[in-house]
Structure 1
């Protein structure tokens, strides 16, 4: 079977949608010989910053000399981005070979995400990974990744997310996400809304897990464009970060705190490795700058909190004008995101990513104009990007945002890579 054929089969499982629960993934991993037991696991859950935090943590362990796996979702451009070892994507031949094994062993009605989670476990076991950083797909308690026995759980900032599955209130959502924490294992959390913080604290008490809080037990901040960190034992000053944006200080702090704690669980990390890991971290599509001219900045902000963080990051980037290529999904909350982003934009080029769920460009442009923005419907993502480039002067900044799918399609266009649009 070819790579295209196997992807077609895997993507077709999207018809089963999201089906929270551990029964199918547990049976599948059992049938594969429980590959998830061959390596240590760190869980990363939350709403905003999961991918960046996971990338920081993976880079830290790779710099420390450990064979490190990284499992994230969704991908920006290609399926192979979801599974990495020491920063390198899984190759297409391996996808085909391992996916055939997983599909053959899968119980009826296994979902897309369950298949991919098992594929990652099989790959990491086969390649001799020592520790894997695993980003939850949705929630935590009933997420397929909860079948992995985690050494530690990181909870990034929680906001309203998948409310049809996780609950309508912030406390309910945080409880579902923190539900992945295993008894007695450390729980590392960002500063949270009081309702989310209370739910996370309850989970720590229920499981007998020591709770480490950003702002209380550890912290990081920017000083003159470089990171400073104060942790339980480790202190760093003047460190370069491979990921830009003021909000990345929180994600870096979470990763460093987790690494500190895991040093006591068989994965010691030197100060030199910590510095190198922060410097070498890469996470495409998050405050990712293409130099130009004109410069193009990609950021996957797709909810109000993410838009607020992007707005803060943009305040530090000098420019003449800001031209925004904006594309959103039709099933997302729109007004909150627009409230943070539109006041920054001199012109908006509304686009529609190549997904059925995308909000039509005409509809998005109308919403932007109603909010007072100078907005035009630009059609597809590549068309919008080209129109923005033609309109830009050399000192202008083009920002692509609104959805990870918008950013993924734009990045694929910029680097001449095939764009594989899929949500799961």
Structure 2
């Protein structure tokens, strides 16, 4: 079943919502059975989505969460109240969707439809739907969300979304719905201008980080000032001071929802932030040796990761790094390499991965000691043999590298798929 669904990835991105809308209609429009929040952006949309879902669960609501890509296995993509969809439900719903799907339906359109069916069956109160890559033509945009959330926008997937931050923001702002509220994280001026224009055109109320709400980071705690809520000294379950912007955006989104059908006590907001977990993002997954996983895979993510590394005491930083062949190596690794003692270059098990030998050559050319580590498993083994008690092993460069490493450490089967 999954092999067949993964095979649909060959159709790639196909602009337009006609196929997924038709598919949903043929299955009784399951998305009409629950309310939804739509989350798009370049960086932080997964973290923001999981924090929102965690807060809403603490508030007593029955919450669905749809995210992509998965780190280890397909079932991570569809969750209800923090529980992954059961494999037997994947098989059952996959067959149902395949029987109704037009011939050219893409992988992501099918998976989005499966999520909607599952959330309807589970009678969730609200689903947090993370957009896959874009906005306007992303399959998740077939849902009429009650709130749109846009996290930080930067250059990524330019071959699909546009060659400038403004163009990418224009595409991401396609999730804005007429007269429905919009919450945005801190943005570059060009991105903010595009979102403002879209909200003005559609008469959609806009709430901006840094203007309508604020998040400060002091002594590893969040201090939040919102529209009507203030929280002091909140512990966030996700590591990294850069999460203050994602956390503030999630809290503001919950505040906006609270004006409608989802009132939220402040105690639930605090508890939800503390309990939020998002694998593969500044995740300390091993203590002996210390292994940190982070899925930074674009320049903005690389800068945020470098900032966060300063917060973790270590003697030497050993970098196990693997990237996709179409990524900006200098942009991703530029902020991190000066902090690195040695790079062990690897290649995750995807066809578009950059060969580990080429990555090692690039890093050496930047003046950093580097070796060709081969596979993710071999590179991780090498790093562990080199690490002392006070050293830190960082696995980064791609979510697929992080996912494969995580599967090895947890002894779980890895399902590599880009989509």
Interval containing the TM-score (normalised by the shorter chain): over 0.9
Report SS of the residue matched to 1:150: coil
- The correspondence for 1:146, drawn from 123, 141, 153, is 141
Q: CA offset at residue 227 of structure 1? A: 1.3
Q: Tell me how far apart the structure 2 counterparts of residues 415 and 134 of structure 1 sit (CA, whole Å).
A: 27
**Is the 1:45–1:139 contact (alpha carbons within 8 Å) kept by the matching residues of 2?**
yes
Q: Tell me how far apart the structure 2 counterparts of residues 422 and 322 of structure 1 sit (CA, whole Å).
A: 29
Deviations 1:81-106 (A, max 9, x none): 00001111001001001111011011
Unaligned regions of 5+ residues in structure 2, if any?
none
Q: Tell me how far apart the structure 1 counterparts of residues 302 and 163 of structure 2 sit (CA, whole Å).
A: 21
Specify the alignment match of 2:398 in structure 1: 403
Q: CA offset at residue 331 of structure 1? A: 1.0
- The correspondence for 1:304, drawn from 287, 294, 299, is 299
Specify the alignment match of 1:3 in structure 2: none
Specify the alignment match of 2:264 in structure 1: 269
Specify the alignment match of 2:14 in structure 1: 19
Q: Tell me how far apart the structure 1 counterparts of residues 271 and 26 of structure 2 sit (CA, whole Å).
A: 39
Report SS of the residue matched to 2:327: coil
Q: Tell me how far apart the structure 1 counterparts of residues 188 and 218 of structure 2 sit (CA, whole Å).
A: 26
- The correspondence for 1:259, drawn from 254, 259, 268, is 254
**Is the 1:293–1:395 contact (alpha carbons within 8 Å) kept by the matching residues of 2?**
no
The answer as to 2:308 corresponding to 1:313 is yes
Report SS of the residue matched to 1:275: helix
Report SS of the residue matched to 1:185: coil
Specify the alignment match of 1:66 in structure 2: 61
Q: TM-score, normalised by structure 2?
A: 0.99
- The correspondence for 1:122, drawn from 117, 120, 135, is 117
Deviations 1:114-154 (A, max 9, x none): 00000000000000111000000111111100000011111
**Is the 2:156–2:298 contact (alpha carbons within 8 Å) kept by the matching residues of 1?**
no
Specify the alignment match of 2:334 in structure 1: 339
Q: Tell me how far apart the structure 1 counterparts of residues 288 and 9 of structure 2 sit (CA, whole Å).
A: 39
Structure 2 counterparts to residues 7-406 of structure 1, below 5 A: 7-406=2-401
Report SS of the residue matched to 2:320: strand
Q: Tell me how far apart the structure 1 counterparts of residues 154 and 102 of structure 2 sit (CA, whole Å).
A: 33
**Is the 2:220–2:241 contact (alpha carbons within 8 Å) kept by the matching residues of 1?**
no
**Is the 1:302–1:337 contact (alpha carbons within 8 Å) kept by the matching residues of 2?**
yes
Runs of 4+ in 1 over 4 A off after TM superposition: none
Q: CA offset at residue 390 of structure 1? A: 0.2
- Tell me how large the CA RMSD over aligned residues is: 0.7
Q: Tell me how far apart the structure 1 counterparts of residues 162 and 364 of structure 2 sit (CA, whole Å).
A: 33
Q: CA offset at residue 20 of structure 1? A: 2.2
Q: Tell me how far apart the structure 2 counterparts of residues 20 and 387 of structure 1 sit (CA, whole Å).
A: 43
Give the paired residue count. 419
Q: Tell me how far apart the structure 2 counterparts of residues 126 and 207 of structure 1 sit (CA, whole Å).
A: 32
**Is the 1:323–1:396 contact (alpha carbons within 8 Å) kept by the matching residues of 2?**
yes
Q: TM-score, normalised by structure 1?
A: 0.98
Q: CA offset at residue 161 of structure 1? A: 2.1
**Is the 1:231–1:257 contact (alpha carbons within 8 Å) kept by the matching residues of 2?**
yes
**Is the 1:191–1:215 contact (alpha carbons within 8 Å) kept by the matching residues of 2?**
yes
Unaligned regions of 5+ residues in structure 1, if any?
1-5
